[in-house]
Homo-oligomer: A and B are copies of this chain.
Amino acid sequence: MTKQKEISSAVIARLPRYYRYLGDLRDNGVERISSLELSRMMNVTASQIRQDFNHFGGFGQQGYGYNTEYLYAEIGKILGLDHKHNMILVGAGNLGSALIKYMNFRNRGFYFKAAFDINEALYDRQIAGIDVYPMERMASYIRDYSIDIAVLTIPKAQAVKVAEVLSGCPIKAIWNFAHTDLNLPGRIKVENVHLSDSLMRLSYEIHRYEESVSEQNSAAQAEEN
């Protein structure tokens, strides 16, 4: 049993943000940073930062601050970014193509190896150097090329069937952009990016804010009368 086992998902969810800030600091030549400075940049409390880091052994001495390079590398290791990940794209439409062309993933060790689509017209083309194959070849490709992650950018009507096929493959994770929830065996990890859900939360925030402003205005008017 390692220490990491009991770490809450809230702490984990914050790690990529720490990693992002520390990467920026490192790129800007900042060698050491205190939890207080980091907390001001990130708009969280210094105590939260120290608590979060204590889950992983603390990473450095208080007073002296943290070594930026070391902390960046350590959090990267916790996130598994010291490993290379082979990915396939399932659904070579607009969003999928954009993800392939987004080079930042490659910088973090995530490599698209191939794309799969039901559209025959795509098979003789490449997307940023990546070949597009028929869906029927997906399962054997995963086996032959040690694919870790399948990125699903397909309509939700197709997602259930594709998830069934993937359930039988030695895939480790699915990055799901299809607008539906997937049922998969526990060994296959799923991270959902439901863009419409995100836009709806934004819509809620807009209207909640407008209501509160209009209520304040009414209250102010009522007081005047």
Task: Give chain B nearest CB distance to A146 CB in angstroms.
Answer: 13
A101 within 8 A of B: yes
Chain B proximity mask over A7-37: 1 for CB below 8 Å, otherwise 0: 0000011011101100000000000000000
The DSSP consensus for interface residues of chain A is helix
CB-defined contacts of A221 to chain B, threshold 8 Å:
none
**Contact status A175-B198, CB under 8 Å:** yes
Task: Give chain B nearest CB distance to A85 CB in angstroms.
Answer: 6
A136 within 8 A of B: no
A208 within 8 A of B: yes
* Listed residue (A110, A194, A195) with the most chain B CB atoms within 10 angstroms of its CB: A195
**Contact status B204-A12, CB under 8 Å:** yes
Point out the residue from B16, B93, B198, B208 that lies within 8 Å of A201, measured CB to CB.
B16
CB-defined contacts of A212 to chain B, threshold 8 Å:
5
CB-defined contacts of A175 to chain B, threshold 8 Å:
198-199, 202
A118 within 8 A of B: no
A114 within 8 A of B: no
**Contact status B104-A179, CB under 8 Å:** yes
Count A-side interface residues using an 8 Å CB cutoff: 63
- A78-B204, A98-B97, A101-B94 known; A20 vs B197 contact (CB < 8 Å): yes
**Contact status B16-A108, CB under 8 Å:** no
**Contact status A201-B207, CB under 8 Å:** no
List 15 additional A-B contacts (Cβ < 8 Å) besides A148-B206, A175-B202, A189-B209: A2-B211, A15-B200, A16-B198, A20-B179, A43-B181, A79-B203, A79-B207, A94-B97, A94-B98, A95-B98, A97-B98, A105-B199, A175-B199, A189-B202, A189-B205
Can you list 15 residue pairs at the A/B interface with Cβ under 8 Å? A2-B215, A5-B212, A12-B204, A78-B204, A79-B207, A80-B207, A81-B203, A83-B203, A85-B203, A94-B101, A94-B102, A95-B102, A102-B195, A172-B206, A173-B202
